[in-house]
Amino acid sequence: MKKAGEYGEFFPPELSPFAYNETLAQDYFPKTKEQVLAMGMRWRDSAEKKYNITMKNNQIPNDIRATSDSILDEIIECAHGGNCSDHCATAFRIIPQELQFLRKMDIPLPRLCPLCRQGERVRLRNPMHLWHRKCMKLGCNNEFETSYAPDRPEIVYCEQCYNNEVA
């Protein structure tokens, strides 16, 4: 056997049953198809989606009280229309339990397909990176590591000051 140098390393990407963009790696370290292929990893192109859209995105009612049960029969267009990096399904449906919940909570219908909604959630998470920062409480000199980048608008306290503040 020829030495390939992988002993002691993490499993090489050619052993992975998944393509890079199907894994959490794409959520945390998003890369383009070109970058992924250049690293010697696989990329999965999403299959072409052809749904018979019966409701355009701009026809979605703004108010859940103005939404009738007939919404359950609609194939609703996703606002991203497949033009994003979230594997957009391009369309989605509303199921009865979902409609019931939205009515109960007085929340309007979603405008994105479930995959794009997941994409939006992931983008709200802090990156997998720690910055060394000072406590922003006046008079406190504590320093710590935080996933809140220094250029973000949030006020960041050390653990002690935070606990005093919320106590």
By the rule CB under 5 A, 140 interacts with Zn ion: yes
* Stretch touching Zn ion by CB under 5 A, among 5-13, 21-29, 63-71, 84-92: 84-92
Q: How far apart are CA 58 and CA 25, in angstroms?
A: 33
* Segment holding 115, helix H or strand E: helix 114-124
Question: Contact with Zn ion (CB under 5 A): which of 23, 35, 59, 142?
Answer: 142
88, 91, 94, 109: which one binds Zn ion (CB under 5 A): 88
- 49, amino acid identity: K
The DSSP bridge partners found for residue 146 are: 131
Q: How far apart are CA 166 and CA 132, in angstroms?
A: 23
Residue 77 binds to Zn ion (criterion: CB under 5 A): no
Interaction between residue 156 and Zn ion (CB under 5 A): no
What are the CB-based long-range contacts (under 8 Å, 24+) for 55-58?
A: 57/81, 57/111
**Using rule CB under 5 A, residue 94 touches Zn ion:** no
- Site residues (vs Zn ion, CB under 5 A): 78, 80, 84, 86, 88, 113, 116, 135, 137, 140, 142, 158, 161
